[in-house]
Homo-oligomer: A and B are copies of this chain.
Amino acid sequence: MPLARIDLIEGKPAEYRRTIGEVVYQAIIEVLKAPTGDRFQVITEHATRDFIFDPNYLGISRTPDCVFIQLTLNKGRTVEVKQAFFKAVADGLHERLKMRREDVLINLVEVDKENWSFGNGVAQYAQPPQ
């Protein structure tokens, strides 16, 4: 169910961007326990001047390789699961792309189960009527 918007600086190889998507998907499956195949992602490159981040907010040093990952997902994960998801994404990006963990910004937007249609005009996750 998650829909991911991934924003980063322009000019990285396509394979680099694709790998970001793979790491996010892997954490969705392994940590959020979404079903296999639950991968819907929009990746957008931006010119430096239109991709704005503070280089030091909260004492975390960021570089132009900073990536914003905004994930819309169903409500109900515990704080612990969210924390594990953040760690899995940052660790995965570091391991696979040598990305600095400081450069990984993640935001979750939670919605009700009934707020998704994955095709056919049907709300696949809505509870059936009693």
Q: Do B110 and A79 touch across chains, with their CB atoms under 8 A apart?
A: no
Known contacts A43-B52, A52-B43, A119-B104; A58 and B111 CB within 8 A of each other: no
Q: Quick one: closest B residue to A82, CB to CB? A: B114
In the complex, which range does the number of interface residues on chain A fall in?
Answer: 35 or more
Chain B residues whose C-beta falls within 8 Å of the C-beta of A42 in the assembled complex: 7, 44, 46, 50-52, 68
Chain copies in complex: 3
The majority secondary structure among interface residues of chain A is mixed
Known contacts A51-B42, A70-B72; A58 and B118 CB within 8 A of each other: yes
Q: Do B120 and A101 touch across chains, with their CB atoms under 8 A apart?
A: yes
Task: Give the docked Cα–Cα distance between A107 and B121 (Å).
Answer: 11
